[in-house]
Amino acid sequence: MKNLKFLFTAVALFFVSTFVSAQVKDWKEKNEFHKVMSTTFHPAEEGNLAPIKSKIDEMQEKAIAFQKSEIPADVVNKKEVQKNLKELVKGTKALNKKIKANASDEVIKNDLTSLHDVFHKIVGLCSAEDKHDH
């Protein structure tokens, strides 16, 4: 009977941990922001700034939605995530203004790189297992 209880407990813990780690991976707003970031950042790395120039409004919208969304329960350091989400929104709004004011490509690329770094911080804070893949 003890072995049966142990087995039941082990199986239950496995399913609970699988569900909890899936919450961060299934964070819809994080994933939506990532889609815009990846389709703009990688071309910018190669000198193509057309995607970020055409998608900056969408990026700003997704950053705001990401900030307003509920942080999954399994994220340990919610305050640090909130702080970085605030920085992400602030940086996205600033980049949007710069793009609308015809900032230089160098300024746009540098600001986009900074936003990418902030996004990486957020992903890292979510979970050691939640890797950021492009």
> Domain for residue 132, yes or no?
no
| pTM confidence score | 0.78
Total structural domains within the chain: 1
> Domain for residue 30, yes or no?
yes
**Residue 76 and residue 102 in contact, taking contact as beta carbons nearer than 8 Å:** no
10-19, 24-33, 70-79: least confidently modelled range: 10-19
Identify the domain containing residue 24 by its residue range.
2-126
Length of the chain: 134
Residue 77 pLDDT exceeds 50: yes
Distance (Å, rounded) from C-alpha 88 to C-alpha 122? 9
pLDDT tier, 55 (very low <50, low <70, confident <90, very high otherwise): very high
Domain of residue 87, CATH code: 1.20.120
> Domain for residue 80, yes or no?
yes
- Report pLDDT for 21: 42
> Domain for residue 133, yes or no?
no
- Report pLDDT for 1: 57
Mean pLDDT of the chain: 84
